Chain A
């Protein structure tokens, strides 16, 4: 009977433990993944590889299957093309830069991990590199900050960023972070 009581007590303690802040911030890294997507309202014919797929899956590239439901529920585009995927580990206070199609790049700086709330605070900057152009009197390439946002994302979660025009559609980025 005493062994049973001890086992029950252990279960209660173990279920309470994960809510306590355990991780130390110093030297902690956050794994970041950025998936870039081109969304458009074109006819959904051949996507990346032109293979036949079910009507439900038509219009969404197979690499985006895990976002398929969310993309369809959120947007009215009917074609989602997978462009690229980038992964990096960034230290808190450090910065990771992801090169994206269309001279875009995404800079992700994890600021802190709130273990208790299960949130990762980040500063995310979407930049477009404008190449030199004599017509526009630019002799050097310049950086244009399209978007800078400070967010607290659920640990292991995903946020969608998008809007800039890219090759007949718009650029959508699925940013995920886990720390």
Chain B
């Protein structure tokens, strides 16, 4: 089922001979057993062939010059329409009302910012709540004899440790080990 194959994202690069190494082997191996992806690759290659045959429309230098002039003119028109006369406020002494308004605005700004950081979506930001060292271990395996893999996560300090025990190394995790607390 090509719609679900992860390899789909690499098919265009594969058709353009841009893949190398392990990824190239993975894609080739997948294509040998997935008819859907093989059909998709054929379709990509057919599109490539059509694009190579079709030639780009010729545009004369004069036409390009006109195009640039027309575009600049149109943008200038948009700018002119957007411009509005600026309002000039009446000048007042810098105390009394203006100062109170400034403090009120600054206070409101600080309250909204604090609320957004503590309660809003910003509380999920990594720089805010830390947790960079969290790690989800999906799988661990070993193909070497004498090794046993395991992992553990500590809360304080926050850290995940993925460990392979070897029979040569004395002790282990679990208290009496030299290697772990």
Contact = CB atoms under 8 A, between A and B. Distances in A.
A41 interface: yes
B10 interface: yes
Interface of B: 9-10, 21-23, 105, 108-109, 112-113, 116-117, 120-122, 124-126, 131-144, 147, 149, 151, 154, 156-157, 159-166, 168-169, 177-181
Interface in A65-123: 69-70, 73-77, 93-95, 118-119
Interface string A127-146: 01000000000000000111
A133 to B, nearest CB: 16
A95 B105 CA distance: 52
Contacts of B144: 128, 144-146
B140 A149 contact: yes
Contacts, number: 162
Contacts of B9: 26
A146 B142 contact: yes
Category for how many chain A residues contact B: 35 or more
A16 B121 CA distance: 5
Contacts of A128: 144
Interface string A155-179: 1111111111100001000000000
Given A74-B157, A147-B162, 4 more contacts: A11-B109, A146-B147, A149-B149, A158-B133
Contact of B10 (A75, A93, A144, A145): A93
